[in-house]
Amino acid sequence: MAACPLSRVHVRPLMARCPHSPSSAGAGAGAASALAARSGTGRWGPGAVVGCATRARYASCRASRIARVSSILLIVASLPDSNAGRSTAMAPTSSEPRTARGPPAAQLSYCDPVARSSAARASSGVSTASQRILRSAATQPSASPQRIALTLGIEEKFDHVLQFTRMYHEKMKACVPLPRIEVKSGPVQENVQQGDRVNLLDFPAPLLHEKDGGRYLGTGHLVITKDPDSEWVNVGTYRIMAQERDTAAIYIGPGKHGSIHKEKYFEKHKPMPVNVVLGGDPLDWFAASCPVPAGVSEFDFAGGLRGAPTQVIRSDITGLPYPADAEIVLEGEIRPGELREEGPFGEWPGYYASPRSLEPFIRVHRVLHRHNPILSCANPARPPHTLTLLRAITRSAHVWEELEQAGVPEIRGVWSHEPGPRQFTVVSIKQRYPGHVKQAGLIASQCFSGGYQNRFTIVVDDDIDPTRIDDVVWALSTRCDPESGIDIQRRCWSSSLDPMIHPDSKVWLNSRAVIEACRPYEWRDKFPEVAETSPELRNRVLARYGRAFFGLH
């Protein structure tokens, strides 16, 4: 491994892998955020510049394919042109400390989707072809079921998000975790900073929201910890705020597996080793974002989804693994009793919910990175945002699986709606016995995949599409008796990100409603029929008059 300065750092959006990459770790999709370029004078550059998550080694991907399968990290308000000034959201104030900006060595530069290693674009503009890609990405959602399907290697066709959720559910059910394989070396070891040479400020830590309390290196990343009492290696996604050359604050919510590991180490008065991966295969990040059960490593879960074991290198500093094909790796430890201010940060519920507070921080002992590494970012904000579709699909599928594992039959669909990807879950069932509705609702609201910060769980009949909010509201309005059909659960699992918890509270509990919006089981056969055209009559009319007659295509 060689020690060399960073010449360029590219920003990698999440969430789809490049389908033509030999290592299946290429293009990403999902983050639209405000970033700023550093100029050679140490001040922010005259305009924001963007990076597509495609490296030169994946040059077989053409621009049209990249535009189709991955979203571009956009800074629409500050794309460079001859008249553009600095992005006001990203321009540092005169009072902003030097440590928040870092030295000028690390540059955010525009990256053409086809020629990853081409010379940096002039700050006065970008190519016409690239502008077309940016405009295309700006008018499309930053994530889609099709892009997530590429990441998961799902090739079957589908035309409905619930159909794709069912596909992922079936893939997850068939997934057998594959133990990770240790290798001796990998591309991430191309460069090393250790000891006094460690400098996190070499990397562009973006200010993702204008009122964030700092710049966040870790948003689309991996945090790797190990249970001190077993061989269980956990991979989570806990936000990380840049602080100084060799320290970074970390926030881990209560009840999360990383938090449980930390508490165990601190109870033994020991520091917790930790590796942080800033950029890598989006499938690893996908797995880390899923509610994988305790005792199962997300690396092994990702290997099962991939169909091939995750290749990792064991750190000789922390003893923990990290992916051999990672972009940037931080190796360090979190010590008991050491706290620094962290936050606030615009989080996935859509608020700066957790106030600035004292949190643990990572002492970084070594940094590894590729040449010209790609830094992954994700940008939560007011929903729907770049992560809500992914969260909705994964959470729905995992709740679906836990319902089936608990023995609840005839689950026809589960959907966690994007404006509330944890707080608003709808379960569709075909009723088979008295109490079936209540059973499904209670389990969905409290199981591991569905319990964290849940607010409303609604159970509907199988004629209701749980993904259609108008269907769900109709069922609520016509099949729910509020006096008997709503149960309130109290003192449930929540977090400091819950905007309904008072900022002075130290107890992060909430209440939640389980709502029955189904025909009453005991007289469901006498419930009024739905006033709608039958499929048989609809087909006869369309066959006689044609779809165009009714404005259908």
Does residue 172 carry a pLDDT above 60?
Answer: yes
In the numeric block, the tokens 């079921």 are attached to: 145
* 55 pLDDT more than 70: no
For residue range 294-335, list pLDDT tens digits in order.
Answer: 999 999 999 999 999 999 999 999 999 999 999 999 999 999
Residue 154 lies in a domain: no
Structure confidence at residue 248 (pLDDT): 97
State the pLDDT at residue 163: 95
* In a shared domain, residues 292 and 180: yes
The strand ranges marked E within 69-190 are 181-182
- What residues are labeled active site? 347
- Same-domain status, 185 and 90: yes
500 lies in the same domain as 361: no
Q: What per-residue confidence (pLDDT) applies to 387? A: 83
- Neighbouring CB atoms inside 10 A of 475's CB total 24
What are 262's strand-pairing partners? none
Write out pLDDT tens, residues 227-244. Answer: 999 999 999 999 999 999
More confident residue, 227 or 57: 227
pLDDT, one tens digit per residue, over 112-148 is 222 222 232 233 233 333 332 333 333 332 368 888 9
Last residue of some domain: 355, 377, 399?
A: 377
pLDDT at 57: 28
* Residues 93-108, mean pLDDT to the nearest whole number: 33
> Are the CB atoms for 377 and 13 separated by under 8 Å?
yes
Number of domain units in the chain = 2
Higher per-residue confidence, 367 vs 92: 367
Q: How many CA atoms lie within 13 A of 165 on its CB side?
A: 26
* Residues 136, 225 within the same domain: yes
Q: Phi and psi (nearest 5°) for 234? A: -105, 145
Residues 354 and 447 in one domain: no
For the chain, the average pLDDT equals: 78
Percent of the chain with pLDDT over 90: 59
Round the CA-based radius of gyration of the chain to a whole number and report it.
24
| pLDDT at position 12 | 54
Evaluate if residue 49 carries a pLDDT over 80: no
Q: Which residue has the higher pLDDT, 492 or 140?
A: 492
**With bands split at pLDDT 50, 70 and 90, how would you rate the model's confidence at 552?**
confident
Mean pLDDT of 172-193: 96
For 543, phi then psi, to 5°, come to -65, -30
Task: Decide if 548 is inside a domain.
Answer: no
Do 225 and 293 lie in a common domain?
Answer: yes
Per-residue pLDDT, 404: 96
pLDDT of residue 17: 38
More reliable by pLDDT, 262 or 18: 262
Query: Looking at the domain assignment, is residue 201 inside a domain?
Result: yes
Give yes or no: residues 254 and 359 share one domain: yes
Write the CB contacts of 256 (distance below 8 Å, at least 6 apart in sequence).
Answer: 236, 238
Rounded to an integer, the average pLDDT of 450-463 is: 94
Pair 364, 247: CB distance under 8 Å: yes
Torsion of CA 377, 381, 387, 393, to 10 degrees: 160
Residue 324 lies in a domain: yes
- Kindly state whether residue 226 falls inside one of the protein's structural domains: yes
Residue 538 lies in a domain: no
Q: Between residues 109 and 255, which one has the greater pLDDT?
A: 255
Residue 482 shares a structural domain with residue 410: yes
433 with 368, same domain?
Answer: no
Same domain, 20 and 119: yes
CATH of the domain at 455: 3.40.1670.10
Among 451-460, 475-484, 500-509, 512-521, the minimum mean pLDDT is found in: 500-509
CB atoms within 10 A of CB 406: 13
Asked if 383 contacts 419 with a C-beta cutoff of 8 angstroms, the reply is yes
Q: Is residue 4 part of a domain?
A: no
**pLDDT tens-digit map of 403-453:** 999 999 999 999 999 888 789 999 999 999 999 999 999 999 999 899 888
Residues 324 and 238 in one domain: yes
Residue where one domain finishes, among candidates 318, 351, 377: 377
Q: Residue 43's domain is classified under what CATH number?
A: 2.30.110.10
Asked if 109 contacts 120 with a C-beta cutoff of 8 angstroms, the reply is yes
- Residue 186 binned pLDDT confidence (cut-offs 50, 70, 90): very high
Are 437 and 517 part of one and the same domain? yes
pLDDT at residue 41 is higher than 60: no
Mean pLDDT, range 253-258, rounded to an integer: 91
Structural domain boundaries enclosing 449: 388-526
Q: Which residues pair with 438 in a beta bridge?
A: none
- Tell me whether strands 181-182 and 321-323 are parallel, antiparallel or unpaired: unpaired
Let me know if 239 is exposed, middle or buried by CB neighbors in 10 A (0-12, 13-18, 19+): buried
In a domain, 69, yes or no: yes
Residue (of 345, 423, 421) closest to 384 by Cα position: 421
Band (pLDDT 50/70/90 cuts) for residue 348 is confident
How would residue 9 be classed by pLDDT, with cut points 50, 70 and 90?
low
508-547 tens-digit pLDDT: 899 999 999 999 999 999 999 999 999 999 899 989 888 8
**Sheet containing 321-323: order of strands:** 181-182, 311-314, 321-323
Domain final position from 377, 399, 420: 377
